[in-house]
């Protein structure tokens, strides 16, 4: 497994807050984050995470390198069920059991050295676990593959869960290799395309893409932390059982 991914994810999650971004703020330390709006209050720059004034963080003006308006994102690729497009009704069941989905993700993860919780986080963000999901842009299935990408990956039916997960995992594996295991860039490329990441030399300044990256990383970290806690609880229970003998 790619052991450095969790550390990279944790660092980014602290910066890429899932807010309704309208501005991109570049800091003098090289980091960047998004916010709804900003204002200067008592000599400090206040960045608000929403339209109201209840949630914000502050920086001294010297820490702010630039503030720019985030351009409009590309057309939304939010998943919509295939039932809303009668011309393309798949026969795949709309629901998978958690066990079936986990088995698919675990198999794909082993094949491509990807953490099963990372794949589960991508599936949750892309389709909510619905194998018949279809976006307005035409992305299909659990990991929302476009037809061209699916064809390149040898996936003939994106509505077949096993094939979709296999193809999506291979694609994410290739992106991680391309961006030297930088999870944030790989996820940005998965959402907006490698051309956009290469054009901007980083995460594109699209609100949709930035929120997507933050959402997947947040979910991935949540799952990893829960897994570690469970393992610790099991270890503690085992130790107590051994001590009681």
Could you read off the pLDDT of 20-34 as tens digits, one per residue? 446 777 877 766 667
Decide if 126 is catalytic: yes
Looking at residue 28, its pLDDT comes to 77
The C-alpha angle with vertex 221 and arms to 79 and 187, in degrees rounded to 5, equals 45
In a 3-state reduction of DSSP, which class is residue 135? strand
Point out the least confidently predicted range of 38-47, 186-195, 206-215. Answer: 38-47
Higher pLDDT, 11 or 136: 136
Looking at residue 77, its pLDDT comes to 45
Looking at residue 71, its pLDDT comes to 59
Residue from 39, 103, 126, 219 carrying the catalytic annotation: 126
Residue 164 corresponds to which tokens in the numbers above?
């979709």
Distance, in Å, from the CA atom of 105 to the CA atom of 71, rounded to the nearest integer, reads 35
Higher pLDDT, 135 or 5: 135
Point out the least confidently predicted range of 66-80, 134-148, 157-171. Answer: 66-80
Q: Crossing angle for the helix pair 183-192 and 116-127, nearest 10 degrees?
A: 30
78-129 pLDDT, tens digit each: 445 444 444 444 555 556 899 999 999 999 999 999 999 999 999 999 999 9
**What CATH topology corresponds to 5-14+73-234?**
Lysozyme (1.10.530)
What integer best gives the mean pLDDT of the chain?
A: 81
Q: How many residues does the chain have?
A: 245
Confidence band of 54 (pLDDT split at 50, 70, 90): low
The mean per-residue pLDDT over the stretch 157-179 comes to: 96
Q: Where are the domains of the chain?
A: 5-14+73-234, 23-69
In a 3-state reduction of DSSP, which class is residue 15? coil
Closest by Cα among 24, 152, 139, 26 to 85: 139
pLDDT reading at 74 higher than 60: no
Looking at residue 1, its pLDDT comes to 62
Give the highest mean pLDDT range of 15-24, 65-74, 222-231.
222-231
* Pair 120, 223: CB distance under 8 Å: yes
pTM: 0.66
Q: Looking up tokens 């675990």, which residue turns up? A: 106
Confidence band of 51 (pLDDT split at 50, 70, 90): low
CB within 8 Å of 148: residues ≥ 6 apart: none
Classify residue 182 as exposed, middle or buried by CB count within 10 Å of its CB (0-12, 13-18, 19+): buried
pLDDT reading at 46 higher than 60: yes
First to last CA, the chain: 37
Higher pLDDT, 137 or 50: 137
* Pair 72, 101: CB distance under 8 Å: no
CB within 8 Å of 84: residues ≥ 6 apart: 134
């Amino acid at each position: 497994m790619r052991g450095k991914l969790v550390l990279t994810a944790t660092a980014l999650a602290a910066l890429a807050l899932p807010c309704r971004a309208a501005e991109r703020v570049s800091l003098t330390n090289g980091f960047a984050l998004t916010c709804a709006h900003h204002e200067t209050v008592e000599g400090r720059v206040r960045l608000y995470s929403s339209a109201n004034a209840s949630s914000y963080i502050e920086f001294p003006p010297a820490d702010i390198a630039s503030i720019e308006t985030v351009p409009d994102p590309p057309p939304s690729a939010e998943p919509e069920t295939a039932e809303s497009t009668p011309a393309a009704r798949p026969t795949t069941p709309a629901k998978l059991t958690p066990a079936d989905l986990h088995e698919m993700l675990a198999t794909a993860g082993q094949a491509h050295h990807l953490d099963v919780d990372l794949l589960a986080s991508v599936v949750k963000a892309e389709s909510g676990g619905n194998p018949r999901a279809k976006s307005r842009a035409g992305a299909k299935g659990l990991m929302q593959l476009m037809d061209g990408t699916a064809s390149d990956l040898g996936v003939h039916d994106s509505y077949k869960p096993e094939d979709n997960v296999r193809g999506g995992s291979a694609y994410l594996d290739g992106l991680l290799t391309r961006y030297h295991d930088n999870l944030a860039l790989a996820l940005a490329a998965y959402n907006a395309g490698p051309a956009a990441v290469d054009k901007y030399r980083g995460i594109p300044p699209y609100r949709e893409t930035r929120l997507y990256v933050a959402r997947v990383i947040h979910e991935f970290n949540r799952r990893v932390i829960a897994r570690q806690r469970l393992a610790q609880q099991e270890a503690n229970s085992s130790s107590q059982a051994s001590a009681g003998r």
